[in-house]
């Protein structure tokens, strides 16, 4: 591929991402989620039954959990809305006739969801950060770091969902995505259980799964935030590297599947 071709692919991908982002912003479901999340995030002090004051740990913990949960819902609903409806409504033809390859289309759609998630995380994360600053008077720098990790986790999940959406139906995509998400949080535990069982085949299989399935437990922020463990730049860098590699892997798989799909 020449530099000009690469530049053109990037531009097309970027414009698909931009319009996907606009499409998501105009979606009523997304607005509903934001409208639900904002009062929930801001209502932290309403839980103060005995007027004991603002509880930093509780609000941080509940806020991050809420943001993560809402992000998960956005990923599941909006990633599905990117490819499958396009194929069903045949609108994909208009895009792929102008795009150099289906990979570009997929990258653009992924970029759209990534922008949407970035917008959501920035909005909710800033809100939580501001609430904590105003109420507790502390700069909780763990929050932006945690939000960054949550964002990376969501990107990885989006890539998995898009890979599945490129080659299967909606119901299978949702089921498998949830399954991967759940298993991805406990890969080490499954590996340990298999090893303890003493079954070589199971251990070997779990080893394979560890290498193929995404490891979502790497993105756990709770211990770091709750125990006030300072984030290390090298760890974040490695996490970013892992995410980018894994995202590229799953998207390329999805792109290859979409490429071979008879539309």
Partner 1 sequence: MHKPRKLTTFGILLRLLLLITAVSAQFSIKARYWDQYYPETVIVDYSDLLLQSVPDQVKGMSAGLMRLTADEYMHIGPYKKARQNFIAGSYAGNTEIMTLLRLALYLEPTHIDTYTIMSQNLAMYLDRFEEGIRLLQQGILANKQAPELHKLYAAGAYCHGFAESYTYSSSQPIKNNREVALNYLEAAIKSYEAQAMYLASDSYDVFANIDNYRLLKSRFLLDVGKREEALAAWRLVPAQNRSGLLATYFSLLEQGVDVPATPEQMFDEILKSSTKTEKEPPYQLPDGWYQTLFVEPADTFKAVANILDRSSAAQVDELNPFATSKAGISDQSTDEQHKHEEDDTCGHTNHSEHDCPHHHNTGNEWPIFKEARAAILQAALMFVCGLGIRRFFTRR
Please name the residue ranges forming H helices in 27-139.
28-42, 56-88, 92-96, 102-136
* Closer of 120 and 258 to partner 1 (Cβ): 258
> Binding marks (x or -) toward partner 1, 142..181, rule CB under 8 A?
----------------------------------------
Long-range contacts of 90-96 (CB under 8 A, 24+ apart): 92/263, 93/263, 95/16, 96/263
CB of 40 to partner 1, least distance (A): 14
Nearer Cβ to partner 1, position 23 or 207? 207
Determine the distance from the C-alpha atom of residue 24 to the mean position of all C-alpha atoms in its chain, rounded to a whole number: 15
Contacts (Cβ under 8 Å, ≥6 apart) of 256: none
Question: Length of the chain, please?
Answer: 263
Check residue 98 for interaction with partner 1 (CB under 8 A): no
Segment interacting with partner 1 (CB under 8 A) among 20-28, 50-58, 66-74, 120-128: 50-58
Helix, strand, or coil here: 3? helix
Q: In angstroms, what is the minimal distance from the CB of 55 to partner 1?
A: 5
**Binding range to partner 1, per CB under 8 A, among 55-63, 67-75, 122-130, 171-179:** 55-63
Sign of CA dihedral 60, 42, 78, 144: negative
Whole-angstrom Cα distance, residue 228 to residue 95? Answer: 47
Q: Which stretch binds partner 1 (CB under 8 A): 29-37, 89-97, 104-112, 207-215?
A: 207-215
Provide the binding-site residues for partner 1, judged by CB under 8 A: 47-50, 52-53, 55-58, 61, 101, 103, 136, 138-140, 210-211, 215, 218, 226-228, 234-235, 238-239, 241-242, 245-246, 248-249, 251-253, 255-256, 259-260
């Amino acid at each position: 591929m020449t530099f000009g071709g690469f530049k053109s692919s990037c531009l097309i991908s970027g414009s698909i991402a931009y319009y996907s982002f606009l499409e998501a912003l105009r979606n009523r479901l997304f607005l509903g989620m934001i409208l639900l999340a904002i009062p929930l995030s801001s209502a932290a002090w309403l839980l103060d039954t005995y007027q004991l004051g603002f509880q930093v740990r509780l609000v941080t913990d509940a806020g991050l959990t809420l943001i993560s949960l809402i992000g998960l819902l956005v990923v599941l609903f909006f990633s599905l809305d990117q490819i499958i409806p396009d194929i069903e409504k045949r609108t994909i033809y208009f895009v792929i006739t102008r795009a150099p390859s289906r990979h570009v289309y997929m990258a653009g759609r992924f970029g759209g969801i990534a922008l949407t998630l970035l917008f959501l995380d920035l909005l909710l994360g800033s809100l939580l950060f501001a609430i904590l600053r105003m109420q507790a008077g502390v700069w909780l720098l763990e929050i932006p770091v945690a939000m960054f990790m949550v964002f990376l986790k969501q990107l990885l999940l989006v890539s998995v969902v898009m890979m599945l959406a490129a080659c299967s139906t909606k119901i299978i995509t949702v089921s498998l995505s949830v399954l991967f998400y759940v298993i991805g949080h406990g890969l080490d535990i499954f590996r340990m259980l298999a090893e303890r069982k003493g079954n070589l085949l199971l251990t070997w299989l779990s080893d394979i799964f560890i290498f193929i399935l995404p490891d979502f437990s790497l993105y756990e922020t709770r211990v770091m935030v709750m125990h006030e463990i300072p984030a290390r730049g090298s760890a974040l860098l490695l996490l970013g590297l892992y995410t980018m590699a894994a995202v590229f892997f799953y998207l390329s798989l999805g792109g290859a599947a979409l490429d071979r799909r008879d539309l």
